[in-house]
Amino acid sequence: MQKLTLSQTLGQKLSPQQIQFIKLLQVPTAELESRIEEELEVNPALEEGEEEESPLQQQEDSADADFEEKKEEEVKPEDEINVEDYLRDDDFGGYKMQGDGEAFEDKEMPISTSATLNEQLLAQLGYLNLDERQVKIGEQLIGSIESDGYIRRDMEAIINDLVFAQNVETDEEELEEILFKIQDFDPAGIGARNLQECLLIQLERLHEQNPNSRLAYTIIDRCFDEFTKKHYAKIIKKLDLEDEEDIKPAIEIITKLNPKPGGTSTGLVKTQYIIPDFILTNNDGELEIALNSRNAPELKVSASYSDMFEAYAKSDKSDKKLKETVSFVKQKLDSAKWFIDAIRQRQQTLLKTMRTIVNYQHEYFLTGDESKLRPMILKDIAEKIDMDISTVSRVANSKSIQTEFGTFMLKYFFSEGIATDSGEDVSSREVKNELKKLINKEDKSKPLSDDKLEGFLREKGYTIARRTVAKYREQLDLPVARLRKELL
């Protein structure tokens, strides 16, 4: 049996203004300009430029008087709109504030505009003597090459793509024939279907230049699994060699090959330049923070849209079409003011958070000495600025600061704490540096295991578990001891 019941619940929802602020907060300075341009395009009530003195404000009293007289007319309360709320206000003239620092000079950032990997491969395809049908197959194969230079899509799937998208029927034999031609393109190793094939393609090109490359080719062709696990003794036995000296030159050749031919080739990837969100300067021991506002133009509410409200104040408010027009104008003005206010809040929050981080890591920012970094988590900063942890996380995400000793992502300054024998907490970054030093100094013919690394760190006074050593080693992108072994 169904019945209706009435219940009362307490919930929390974000307003549209809060959602807009949250989205703007996590946008880095490099992307803020395009975000503002988008808003300017969709909202005609928002304009660039400094706010000028409004003549409407000089007539504010008379406009209010006229408006009060009109209120006696028969207009529904929900249709009434307060004109004063939408007349231009100097508070919304611009969002740049004192303390932001000097605006940066309006200069173009240099960006490399070299051809992409796909464009260069298509250009090389044009040099082959292929008919129109084969060109389509080649283009489909090149389009299947991923950013690192590999084709991971199954050949059968590419054949199906050609049938449905290009109306070209082919088979695996013909597809591979054209693929092998593409694999002759530069950079060497491009178009491989796996790492083994990528290395073999590069070694085939080296054969005429270096006689040792033939043994290197054999090792990758016949002993690839043993090579990836650095089981050199098994390789020697399988290839009927005498000792490690026989394979050392070949192993050296293999380790110099490029495992990602599409991702590191000169001229194939656009160079990226970091635009810092904050600038830190040290004036005789006094640290000063400036917010990079070069990508944030002055914004204001449109004067013409404000003028519409002056006309509305003196018009017949019972006119249905007029009320619809004013409702549209009201919506756009609301949106413009909310956006300007969200930008202002963004700047205030960014500066407040960054100043707190600098104060917390004051010794580090004075010297640049990484050992001076204190353990710091998001909660530490959130408590000091009396904001939610998620807000601090959005500020730290994708933001960077320029200092006298380099430009760093804000996440760099956050790290866990590790206890020492003296009972003090040190940054996990300091422990990682010590771990990296131990691995760099180890005997590469007998690398240190995680257990031995744990012992050495404990001797230095760090209270740490073996599993933590393994975690930090993986975060440093350092392999296990067996894979760090080298032939000396």
For 96-133, the DSSP string reads --TTS-PPPP--PPP---PPPHHHHHHHHHTTS---HH
User: Which one of 230, 255, 280 terminates a domain?
Assistant: 255
Specify the residue for token string 């995680």: 450
What pLDDT is stored for residue 191 in this prediction?
A: 92
Query: Mean pLDDT of all residues in the chain?
Result: 78
Residue 26 clears pLDDT 60, i.e. is over it: yes
Domain assignment of residue 372, yes or no: yes
- The two tokens of residue 136 are 């389509």
> What residues contact 16, with CB distance under 8 A and at least 6 apart?
338
Q: Model confidence at 98, in pLDDT bands (50, 70, 90)?
A: very low
Phi, psi angle pair for 330, to nearest 5°: -60, -45
The pair of structure tokens assigned to 412 is 């760099």
Q: Compare 274 and 407 and report the one with higher pLDDT.
A: 407
369 located within any domain: yes
CA distance 92 to 422: 55
Q: Per mean pLDDT, which range of 289-303, 429-443, 455-469 is the poorest?
A: 289-303
Q: Which tokens hold the place of 329?
A: 């104008």
Strand partners, 265: none
Distance CA 36, CA 293 (A): 12
Percent above pLDDT 90 for the chain: 18
Domain-located, residue 264:
no
The strand pairing partners of 287, in sequence order, are 282
Q: Across 9-18, 135-144, 309-318, which has the greatest mean pLDDT?
A: 135-144
How long a stretch of residues is the chain? 488
Contact 444, 481 (CB under 8 A): no
pLDDT value of position 126: 87
Tell me the C-alpha distance between 214 and 277, whole Å. Answer: 52
- Position 317 scores a pLDDT of 61
Phi-psi region of 284 (alpha: psi -120 to 50; beta: other; left: phi over 0): left
CA–CA distance, 172 with 437 (Å, rounded to integer):
51
Q: What is the pLDDT of residues 45-95, one digit of tens each?
A: 888 876 554 444 444 444 444 444 444 444 444 444 454 554 444 444 444
For residues 18 and 347, the model is more confident at: 347
Position 291 in a domain? yes
Point out the least confidently predicted range of 252-261, 305-314, 351-360, 432-441.
305-314
Say whether both 292 and 385 belong to one domain: yes
Q: Looking at 371, 389, 414, which one is the last position of a domain?
A: 414
Residue 107 confidence class, pLDDT cut points 50, 70, 90: very low
Determine which of 23-27, 184-188, 262-266 has the lowest per-residue pLDDT on average: 262-266
For residue range 348-390, what is the model confidence (pLDDT) as tens digits? 899 999 999 999 999 999 988 887 888 888 899 999 999 989 8
Helices 320-360 & 303-313 angle (0-180, nearest 10): 140
Closest CA to 120 of 262, 273, 271, 272: 262
Q: Are residue 437 and residue 344 in the same domain, yes or no?
A: no
Residues 453, 373, single domain; the answer is no
Number of domains in the chain: 3
pLDDT at 68: 45
3 in a structural domain: no
Contact 227, 250 (CB under 8 A): no
Residues 133 and 170 grouped into a single domain:
yes
129 band by pLDDT with thresholds 50, 70 and 90: confident
Same domain? For 152 and 217 the reply is yes
What is the arithmetic mean of pLDDT over 156-161? 90
Alpha carbon distance 266, 297 (integer Å) = 36
Whether 224 and 287 map to the same domain: the answer is: no
Helix (H) / strand (E) element for 33: namely helix 29-42
Alpha-carbon dihedral of residues 257, 259, 262, 267, nearest 10 degrees?
Answer: -40
Residue 360 and residue 471 in one domain: no
Mean pLDDT computed over 3-16: 70
Q: Which sign does the torsion angle of CA 333, 339, 341, 344 carry?
A: negative
Whether residue 271 is predicted with pLDDT greater than 70 in this model: the reply is no
Radius of gyration in angstroms for the set of CA atoms belonging to the chain, rounded to a whole number: 33
More confident residue, 421 or 284: 284
pLDDT tens track for 381-423: 999 999 989 889 988 888 899 998 888 988 888 887 776 666 5
What is the spatial distance between Cα 49 and Cα 292, in angstroms, rounded to a whole number? 18
- Predicted confidence at residue 342, as pLDDT, reads 86
Name the band, by pLDDT with cuts 50, 70 and 90, for residue 183.
very high
Bridge partners of 87, per DSSP, are none
> pLDDT at residue 197 above 90?
yes
pLDDT score recorded for residue 20: 74
CATH number where 438 lies:
1.10.10.60
Judgement on whether residues 473 and 375 belong to the same structural domain of the protein: no
- Is the confidence at residue 303, as pLDDT, over 70? yes
Residue 331's pLDDT band (boundaries 50, 70, 90)? confident
Do residue 280 and residue 380 come from a single domain?
yes
**Higher-confidence position of 213 and 113:** 213
Could you tell me which residues come within 8 angstroms of residue 103 by beta carbon, excluding any fewer than 6 positions away?
96, 293, 294
Residue 5 covered by a domain: no
pLDDT at 411: 87
pTM: 0.54
Q: What's the average model confidence in pLDDT over 274-280?
A: 87
According to DSSP, residue 373 is labeled P
Distance CA 253, CA 110 (A): 36
Q: How does DSSP classify residue 277?
A: S
Domain range for 149 is 117-255
Question: What pLDDT shows up at residue 352?
Answer: 93
Kindly state whether residues 126 and 175 are assigned to the same domain. Answer: yes
Q: Which of 369, 387, 414 is where one domain is finished?
A: 414
Which of 95-109, 152-166, 460-474 is predicted least confidently? Answer: 95-109
Q: Are residues 137 and 80 in the same domain?
A: no
In a domain, 150, yes or no: yes
Mean pLDDT of 452-473: 87
User: Domain check: are 199 and 281 in the same one?
Assistant: no
**Weakest mean pLDDT among 188-197, 229-238, 271-280:** 271-280
pLDDT value of residue 362: 92
The answer to the question of residue 71 being in a domain is: yes
Q: What is the pLDDT of residue 57?
A: 44
